[in-house]
Amino acid sequence: MNLTTAVILVALSVAFGLIPLFLTGRFRKQVKVLGNILYPRSRGRVAVILPCKGIDPGFRDNLRAFFDQDYPSLELVFSVATADDPACAEIDAVMEEYGGRVKAYRMVAGIENVRAQKITNLLRAVEFVGKSADVLVFVDSDLRPDSGFVRRLVAPLILPQVGATTGYRWYAPQDTRLGSILRSTWNAGALPFVSDSKHNFCFGGAMAIRKNVYDTAGIAQAWDRTLSDDLMLTVKVRGLGLETQFVPSCVAVSHEGSTLGQTIEFTNRQSLISKIYFPPLWWGAAIGHSLGCFFVVYGLASLLSWFIAGGTVALVGSACLLMIPLQWVNALWLLGSVREMLPQLSDSLARMKWHYMFAASLAPFLSLINTINSLFTNRITWRGIRYEMRSPWETVILPSVQPTAKEAPVLLKK
């Protein structure tokens, strides 16, 4: 390789390393704009739907957070696949604890082998809600939001151009294991994109949609044989010419750790889902992280070559490693935004900043692993169930799952 090529590669690597800084800067500006919008206080009837399977860390506290929402016309619908799910006893206990002060229901959705179990839980819950709600709020059971979460999430739906709103998830590591920090860092990589209402996507763990938009967009029909609730909803809402608006104050926290193996499984699953349901997102991540990994590896190889044999070309080529401090700066800048959105985590995030900086340099390589994995399979395991995504409109449960017969939804407790 000649000197000119080395200089070009260094210039490209620095330019490439500046792109995330630009995106984070744009994100910070957009978040400030969105945070300053004042909406009339919504009084519409809201149904909060929580699909549950198994017991997440801090499950009861997570459930209590939804019972404690500051919203006047709210009902909670907890949807499980089968009556023997361990989550049922926990849900019942919290419902008894609140003694009917909040309108809440637990229902059994039944099992079908043509879609993700989460989708079946959602569909049956929406059918149960029927016309009793003006707005549907879909949340994950591993989140623990503050009391104003639902009120803020549904507020922008008053705007006619907003078809859906979305929050996001922040994984708050309960330890400093590599898997925990790396999952949080990898997941944070999408934050700079969710603030752009014309090109963002919904996060299934915290999203809201007007019931009439849900019906007009044909969400139920689109979900019928699918696996991804949020990306499919994003596509259908955008098909109506409507926007998805990010609500910065609805970045909810998941308080849990992760092993490295669990993190790889999680990120592989997310990457594969985006390949099937949102190809532009997958291609952007695949190309971007592949180039990022290339520049770092080339810089390391050039530095090693210079130590061994010297040479101007190798020394110049090693300057591609400037991408690493740029990654660190971006990680700290983005972490600052998260601390502003989640002030209750400010101290713990400050203590972990060095861990996040280190993980920021590893995250592109994890994304490269995810990309390579998604090239060779369309199968994932999600909460103990194995799925094959044959297309955006065809998902099957693989035979390792025993119950495959369709069961009628049953309301067990209210």
Q: Would you say 306 and 318 are in contact if contact means Cβ atoms under 8 Å apart?
A: yes
Sheet holding 394-397, edge to edge: 379-382, 385-391, 394-397
Higher confidence at residue 112 or residue 239?
Answer: 239
Pair 7, 93 in one domain: no
Residue 349 lies in a domain: yes
Q: Would you say 327 and 289 are in contact if contact means Cβ atoms under 8 Å apart?
A: no
Q: Would you say 219 and 138 are in contact if contact means Cβ atoms under 8 Å apart?
A: no
Please give the backbone phi and psi of residue 208, each rounded to the nearest 5 degrees, phi first: -135, 150
Pair 293, 404 in one domain: no
Pair 118, 103 in one domain: yes
Q: What is the pLDDT of residues 58-108, one digit of tens each?
A: 899 999 999 999 998 899 999 999 999 999 999 999 999 998 889 999 999
Residue 272 lies in a domain: no
Handedness of CA 346, 348, 354, 360 (dihedral sign): negative
What tokens were used for 53? Answer: 């399977």
Q: Strand, coil or helix: what is 139?
A: strand
Report the interhelical angle of 260-277 vs 178-188 (nearest 10°): 20
Strands (E), 152-194: 162-172
Domain count, the chain: 2
Pair 402, 387 in one domain: no
Please give the backbone phi and psi of residue 127, each rounded to the nearest 5 degrees, phi first: -60, -40
Strands (E), 70-189: 74-80, 103-108, 135-139, 162-172
**pLDDT of 384:** 80
Pair 90, 137 in one domain: yes
Pair 244, 137 in one domain: yes
Pair 80, 210 in one domain: yes
Residue 31 lies in a domain: no
pLDDT at 406 over 50: no
Pair 347, 402 in one domain: no
Q: What is the pLDDT of residues 364-402, one digit of tens each?
A: 999 999 999 999 999 988 878 888 888 888 888 887 644
Q: What is the pLDDT of residues 131-188, one digit of tens each?
A: 889 999 999 998 888 999 999 999 999 999 999 999 999 999 888 999 999 999 999 9
User: In the chain, what percentage of residues exceed pLDDT 70?
Assistant: 96
Residue 368 lies in a domain: yes
pTM: 0.87
Question: CATH number, domain at 123?
Answer: 3.90.550.10
- Distance between CA atoms of residues 342 and 321, nearest Å: 32
Mean pLDDT estimate for the chain: 90
Which domain, by its residues, includes 54?
37-258+397-413
Q: Range with the lowest mean pLDDT among 28-42, 169-183, 291-305, 325-339?
A: 28-42
Residue 270 lies in a domain: no
Pair 365, 385 in one domain: yes
Partners of 222 in beta bridges? none
pLDDT at 225 over 80: yes
Pair 157, 84 in one domain: yes
Give the β-pairing of 46-51 and 74-80: parallel
CA geometry: angle 25, 202, 362, nearest 5 deg: 55
Q: Would you say 266 and 218 are in contact if contact means Cβ atoms under 8 Å apart?
A: no
Pair 156, 170 in one domain: yes
Partners of 107 in beta bridges? 79, 411
Residue 89 lies in a domain: yes
Residue 277 lies in a domain: no
What tokens were used for 349? Answer: 């995030």
Pair 76, 213 in one domain: yes
Residue 383 lies in a domain: yes
Strands (E), 188-264: 206-210, 243-255
- Distance between CA atoms of residues 122 and 114, nearest Å: 14
**pLDDT of 403:** 45
For residue 143, give every residue at least 6 positions away whose Cβ sits within 8 Å of its Cβ, in sequence order, or none: 62, 65, 169, 205, 206, 252, 253, 254
Q: Would you say 196 and 369 are in contact if contact means Cβ atoms under 8 Å apart?
A: no
Strands (E), 314-405: 379-382, 385-391, 394-397
The DSSP letter of residue 42 is: P
Name which of 46, 99, 98, 116 is nearest 76 in CA terms: 46
For residue 123, give every residue at least 6 positions away whose Cβ sits within 8 Å of its Cβ, in sequence order, or none: 109, 220, 223, 224
